[in-house]
Amino acid sequence: MSWASWTTTGVYSGRGGVITDEVGVLTGDLTVHTTWAGGEARVAVQYSGASDWFTMSGSPTPCQSEDDSRTLHQAVVQAVQEGGGATVPSVACEPHSTSQY
């Protein structure tokens, strides 16, 4: 089974922060961690330098490939920076359309 993970530290949340499943909203200097395995991505956040991790609302999410999970991680970092009660964006891991226009 393939897996991958990414961690970005020093992500400052925008106003309204990030919504977590365990403790509600986190704001401030955060670390974002994404793990991809078995066709799904799991996203966790923590206060930078802390030991406790919290599940970002919307995680886990189906994610077909390692490349898609990397794109998702970048989208999550951007969502955290934007704030507004950020949750895991699903668009980064949606199946790619093969239809012709």
Q: Which long-range contacts (CB under 8 A, 24 or more apart) does 65-73 make?
A: 66/2, 66/4, 66/36, 68/41, 68/92, 68/93, 69/4, 69/6, 69/34, 69/36, 69/41, 69/93, 70/4, 70/6, 72/34, 72/36, 72/41, 72/43, 73/6, 73/8, 73/32, 73/34, 73/41, 73/43
Residue 60 pLDDT class (50, 70, 90 cuts) = very high
pLDDT tens digits, 66-97: 999 999 999 999 999 999 999 999 766 765 53
Q: What is the pTM (predicted TM-score) of this model?
A: 0.88
Average pLDDT, the chain: 90
Domain boundaries, the chain: 3-88
